[in-house]
Structure 1
């Protein structure tokens, strides 16, 4: 159940992160980061690692985009 919730939070976050790669929409990553962290927590509590790993990849994409944009652009 936790793995399914992790995938669900990861997919919702990915839907927010993808458009946030466009310049001047980087603030969307700040909205997605708390959802990603919740997904990582649910994935860590699960017996499977797939959902957690998916959320970590989405987190990495969002973090790299925020780093490139200086945190808010």
Structure 2
């Protein structure tokens, strides 16, 4: 059961990653406001499994999106 939950978490992260990558392009930083909640859901799902891969992948996506928003002045 834990492996399936981990795979679902990774799949959610794979949905959030392209959104965050689009958010790296100038004038498309607002996409990160969509990528962060998706990745948070993926990280929460990843916490339910015994494996760390899905959670860590989603945390990486969250960090990339938050750093981009911070550097662009959209956060804080």
Alignment match of 1:4 (pick from 4, 7, 11): 7
The CA RMSD measured in Å over matched residues stands at 1.0
The residue aligned with 1:15 is 18
Larger radius of gyration: 2
TM, length-normalised to structure 1: 0.93
TM, length-normalised to structure 2: 0.90
Residues 1:33 and 2:36 aligned together = yes
Alignment match of 1:24 (pick from 20, 27, 33): 27
* 4+ aligned runs moved over 6 Å, structure 1: none
Structure 1 unmatched ranges of 5 or more = none
List aligned pairs for 1:51-62, cutoff 5 A.
Answer: 51-62=54-65
